Amino acid sequence: MKSPVLLVAYLYPPDNFSGAIRAGRFAKYLRKLGHPVTVLAAAAENAGQVAEDVHRVRGEFGFGLRRDFSGYLERAIHKYFLPSDWGYGWAWRAAAYAARFMRSSPRPVVVSTFPPLVGHWVGLWLKKRYAAGWIADFRDPFWGDPVRNARQAALFDRRMERAIFRNADRVVANTDVLQEDWRRAYPQWREKMHLIWNGYDPEEGLGPLPLPPRPYQVIAHVGSIYSKRHPAQLLASAGRLTERGLLDPKRLKIRLVGTLDRDELVCRELLDSLTASGLVEIVPELPRAASQEVMATSDYLLLLDMLLDVPSVYVPAKVYEYVQVGRPILLCTTRHSPSERVLSLSGVPYRCVFTDDSAAETDRKVLEFLSLASDPAELRAEFAATFAAMPQAIELSGLIEATARMTSYPI
């Protein structure tokens, strides 16, 4: 039997958060490889044990916080000290709950995932308290991440990241750029650093569906839109092309599916104008199956990978769903981004609009993109070997077994 695993994942399916998906894939495919996997996750209420050894401990999600001491403390920590994460109270409850697993035999290897940071808090505590074998998985950068609130959390983030790298037996990055950043920052711990990209589960069966009959083509973005990730560049181009008569708003619809923080958008007026003209359609957030159907029945797909005016170190999880559909993808990103490299490996037609492209260059690329045939392409075998769930689980399983072999629990 393979080594048992305690997967500490604040967000876990069926939670409707993109961060839950990676943890869900890991658990599913590690079990297929023979690892007994126990999951420790958060819920709005204590839910005890549910299917497949998933244990839920009450957590906080930034909405609907209780009006008790725990809820007020959560708000205070989030507002004044650590504004980029939630679940601080969950960390203490989860750590106490996890202790029972560390007293079992054989003891599990702990795999914690971030964000939010509290998963690694639990992993660090279990390492310190029980000498647990510990693998820290990063779905996003931590220290130095331009999206996190640097002013309020900088000192804490730097110390916490160093503590994670010092104590974890393995640390896992989800992009090669992040891994290289780590190697420069912590050369003394290079041997701990490993790369497992985000990926996809072929068993979900996501793929293209027949395009419904309609007098227009659809370019769809599925996911949250907010101040730091927005479609302003495409909308501005669509507005210019419409004014010049090069784009017929009756023949194209830009469909934006998901939460939209209108108050913070820099392109709010343009968005309202194009929505009124019919060129843009805003659809509220849908359940995952329904949003995947939107992807599968769209002529084109829009991927937004620009959070700030700095080189991207992210690969939005949505790209791995988009490529399974196989239809052309318009990627708005920074130059030399990992998202562009991922798409280049997929075999799916795509075009990149870079954040520093001129208006004329953007318009040229948008017109070129819209001239692409919407016939779906097949994924390359090389892509599946790197990004499919089973090869990634095999990689993680190897790290787990190596960690188990080097872990010596105190008597």
- Would you say residue 84 has pLDDT above 80? no
- Write the pLDDT tens digit of every residue in 323-335: 999 999 999 998 8
User: Within its chain, how far is the Cα of 155 from the centroid?
Assistant: 25
pLDDT band at 411 (very low <50, low <70, confident <90, very high): very low
Q: Does residue 339 contact residue 315 with C-beta atoms inside 8 Å?
A: yes
Could you give the CA distance from residue 317 to residue 290 in angstroms, rounded to a whole number? 17
Count the Cβ atoms, other than its own, within 10 Å of residue 79. 10
Q: Reduce the DSSP state of residue 77 to 3 states and report it.
A: helix
70 and 89 Cβ atoms separated by less than 8 Å: yes
Residue scoring higher pLDDT (143 or 392): 392
Relative to beta strand 54-58, strand 48-50 is antiparallel
E strand intervals along 83-182: 109-114, 134-138, 170-173
Instruction: Give the per-residue pLDDT at 157.
Output: 79
CA distance 14 to 12: 6
Q: Which domains does the chain have, with CATH numbers?
A: 5-199+388-406 (3.40.50.2000), 203-382 (3.40.50.2000)
* Per-position DSSP letters for 363-382, written without gaps between them: HHHHHHHHTS--PPPPPPHH
Q: Please state, in angstroms and rounded to a whole number, the distance separating the CA atoms of residues 244 and 225.
A: 27
Q: Pick the residue with more confidence: 407 or 273?
A: 273
8-state DSSP, 188: G
Dump the DSSP string for 286-310. Answer: --HHHHHHHHHT-SEEEEEE-SSSS
Q: Are 110 and 8 in contact (CB under 8 A)?
A: yes
Residue 153 has φ and ψ, to the nearest 5°, of -110, 0
What's the pLDDT score for residue 147?
A: 62
| Contact by Cβ (8 Å): 300, 219 | yes
Question: Residues 350-376: pLDDT tens digits?
Answer: 999 999 999 999 999 999 999 999 999
**For the purposes of burial, counting CB atoms within 10 Å of the CB of 296, is it exposed (0-12), middle (13-18) or buried (19 or more)?**
buried
- On whether the pTM is more than 0.85, the answer is yes
